[in-house]
Amino acid sequence: MIKIENLSKTFDENAVLKGIDIEIPEGQATALIGPNGSGKTTLMKALLGLVKPDSGTVTINGTKLNGESLYRRNIGFMPQIAQYPENMKVYELFDFIKELRGQEAVFEDELIGIFDLEKELDKTMRVLSGGFRQKVGATLSMMFDPKILFLDEPTAGLDPYSSQQFKEWIRRERENGKTILITSHLMSELEELTDHVIFLLEGKVRYQGTMGGLLGESKETKLEGAIARLMQENKA
């Protein structure tokens, strides 16, 4: 389980997270929703230890984060913008991360197949298209079969076919009991993939709970409508 208590973060006088309390349930998929600049990426980076919070604590499977690194053995992270060392070849990058983690890349071949990466393995990152870089990021984050997946806008930049394959994979992982945290601008996608919702607005948690609960509360049938309503209420 992932527990976040009273987490705050300010960048250059710009308060991005303002005292956030969240529990992300284990073995389920959670959608992290919020308008641009609401702190989704910062929150994800805080969970990875990339961003150091000003105050508050993050506990992941019993490990309280304070410069810890080993807990990340259980985490796969797919960043929003996939950029990798320019002059490294795809297979070299895979090999390097495998060596660093010292874990077996259980799903490597399967993911390379799904994302049609065989022909790209021998290319350097520099010549790879944005979509393929995204696929490299997806493969890197999922090939070690981690218990926890953090996916930041995973399908942005993927073609429809790959996007479908990707979602299929996520559904399978969810059934296998993985803890998944996912952000996306496509509400329909999140509706398909997740059971829990965390809605961030201006650095605070506006809603957290089940998808069904949110729809019921707002008397909407679609997630998009429910979120729009919450944002409107906030303005009023």
Partner 1 sequence: MTILARITQNEWKSILRSKWVIIYGLIFLLLTDTLLRFGGSGSEVLLSITNVMLLFVPLVSMIYGILFLYQSKEYIQLLLAQPVKRQTLYWGLYIGISTPLMGAYLVGIMLPLAWHGLLSGESLIASLTVLLLGASLTLIFVALGFLLGLLFYNDRIKGFGFTIVIWFFMAVLYDGLILVLIFTLGDFPLEKFVIISSMLNPIDLARITVMLEFDISALMGYTGAAFNQFFGSSAGVLTSSAMLLTWMVIPLTVGLRVFSRRDF
Residues that bind partner 1 (CB under 8 A): 11, 45, 48-52, 67, 69-73, 75, 77, 79, 83-88, 96-97, 99-101, 140
N residues, the chain: 236
Cβ proximity to partner 1: between 72 and 196 the closer is 72
- Shortest distance (Å) from residue 80 CB to partner 1: 11
Q: State the distance between the two ends of the chain, measured CA to CA, in whole angstroms.
A: 35
Q: How far is the CB of 144 from partner 1 (least distance, A)?
A: 10
Could you tell me the smallest distance in angstroms from the CB atom of residue 164 to partner 1?
26
Token digits for 156? 């942005």
- Distance separating alpha carbons of residues 170 and 177, to the nearest angstrom: 11
Minimum Å gap between C-beta 221 and partner 1 is: 37
* Residue 45 or 174 with smaller CB distance to partner 1: 45
Least distance to partner 1, CB of residue 43, Å: 13
Nearer to partner 1, 70 or 236 (CB): 70
Task: Please say which residue, 89 or 196, places its beta carbon nearer to partner 1.
Answer: 89
Distance of CA 203 to the CA centre of its chain: 18
In terms of CB distance, is 78 or 226 closer to partner 1? 78
Residue pair 196/210 in contact (Cβ under 8 Å)? The answer is yes
Of residues 77 and 199, the one with the C-beta less far from partner 1: 77
Distance of alpha carbon 138 from alpha carbon 117, whole angstroms: 11
Shortest distance in whole angstroms from residue 17 CB to partner 1? 12
Using CA of residue 186, residue 187, residue 189, residue 194, what is the dihedral sign?
positive
Shortest distance (Å) from residue 99 CB to partner 1: 5
Nearer Cβ to partner 1, position 96 or 192?
Answer: 96
